[in-house]
Amino acid sequence: MRRIRPEEVARARKDPRLLDAAEYRSGTPGAYRMSADDWLRRGNCAEAEPDVMYPEPREPIDEALAMCASCPVRTPCLVRALEARDRHGVWGATAPRERRAMIEVWKDINPLAVGA
């Protein structure tokens, strides 16, 4: 796995998806559960084939990102991925590469982050 570049981390700090996730997480202390079935079942990807959301490296992820674009649970999905430090698959309309930089920022901005 390649190293995260400082400019990627700087970009992640300003990413509206990450900022929305941090705001969402700070508004749900103690009540948030990463595996809560109530939001998982409402995701646009709930019926998707796993290969769509977990493509092989270098395979296109456009279909998954399009599915995420209008997903009603996109933000809690991203929070789940950040808290679990999930670096695989498409979560919360983010590619694994984007999320690696977001995870670095998440540790700094979210004192409730798992394993921080």
| Binding-site residues for [4Fe-4S] cluster | 45, 68, 71, 77
Across the strands, what pairs with 91? 94
Residue 62 is encoded by which pair of tokens? 């456009």
Distance CA 80, CA 66 (A): 19
Annotated binding site: 45, 68, 71, 77
Residue position matching structure tokens 């979560």: 91
Distance of CA 28 to the CA centre of its chain: 17
Return the SS3 of 2: coil
